[in-house]
Amino acid sequence: METLKIGLAQFTPVWLNRQKTLEKALGYAENASDEGCELVVLGGEACIGGYPFWLELTGGAVFNSELQKEFFAEYSNQAVQIERRELKTLCDLARDKQIAIYIGIIEKPADRGESLYCSLVFIGQNGQIGSVHRKLMPTYEERLTWAIGDGSGLHVHKLGPFTVGGLNCWENWMPLARTALYAQGEDLHVAVWPGSIRNTQDITRFIAKESRSYVASVSSLMRKDDFPAETPYLDKILGNSSDVLTDGGTCLAGPDGEWIIEPVCNEEKLLIATIDHRKVREERQNFDAAGHYSRPDVLQLSVNRTRQTSAIFNDTNGG
């Protein structure tokens, strides 16, 4: 087997509504399965839970602000706690339809209080969660609401003839994060973004050329009119918001850096492509970043994949 059929779902999440966004994502996953896809990427960064648009629209850096506290409290309430099996419906669909899934979430781990992480979740075709990658470094104002992640989720996954891995938004610009995936044999790279062609049009092709891999950039959409009526401080948000906050830009580049799917903007759409592993092997004939063109005797990367936690309990039995 040389090929893999993949779906890239670009849509508008229901902002600050975990359940309704999950239902929308499930619909796209079912459509992708009906089209014969073996992998689907559902929406962009922080799809379930929502990207924290309010921060730059409501003075997010104001310390001890009642407005910011209220927003964060609701944001935390809409986050995903994997331990409560809040992704069960997606896992069940993946198993029943034999389709692998990548999805971006706001994660609230049970052992981290109310700290929130921008996480990218991989669900295998067996319905099991294969990895949860917490964004290593939130970007700029994102640090006001997202905690700093760790390397535990820097894993890749075998999928047909391919090895797939993924990163969140601007950590795709981090060369060592990319290298950690290349070194595990990645040849299909998934990059999720909150949206906008300005993020995806250059780096998608750059990573493809650097890695000689297929690279899928998947984004969400968000317009001023998409904020739900029940959004806290809606008048303030609308008063400071542009008409289009994110315009999509979902796309797919081949291992030669050429477009297979050019960036698609301002449209909710399931994009589908069949990719051929032969192209990876062809392009790596003359350059393989983690293989024959690397110099491990000179340059090596050390990766800490320990999941960080506040306490380690060493209990003894008996006594």
What amino acid positions are annotated as catalytic residues?
45, 135, 169
Q: Are 213 and 186 in contact (CB under 8 A)?
A: yes
Query: Rounded CA gap, 209 and 213, in Å?
Result: 7
Instruction: Single out the residue of 231, 262, 235 nearest to residue 249, CA to CA.
Output: 262
User: Tokens standing for 116?
Assistant: 């929130």
One-character DSSP codes across the chain: --EEEEEEEE----TT-HHHHHHHHHHHHHHHHHTT-SEEEESSTTTBT---THHHHTTTT-TT-HHHHHHHHHHHHTSB-GGGTTTHHHHHHHHHHT-EEEEEEEE--TTSTT--EEEEEEE-TTS-EEEEEE-SS--GGGGGT-----GGG---EEETTEEEEEEEGGGGG-HHHHHHHHTTT--EEEEEESS-HHHHHHHHHHHHHHHTSEEEEEE-EEEGGGS-TT-TTHHHHHHH--SEEEEEEEEEE-TTS-EEEEEEES--EEEEEEEEHHHHHHHTTT--TTTTT--TTT-------PPP-S---------
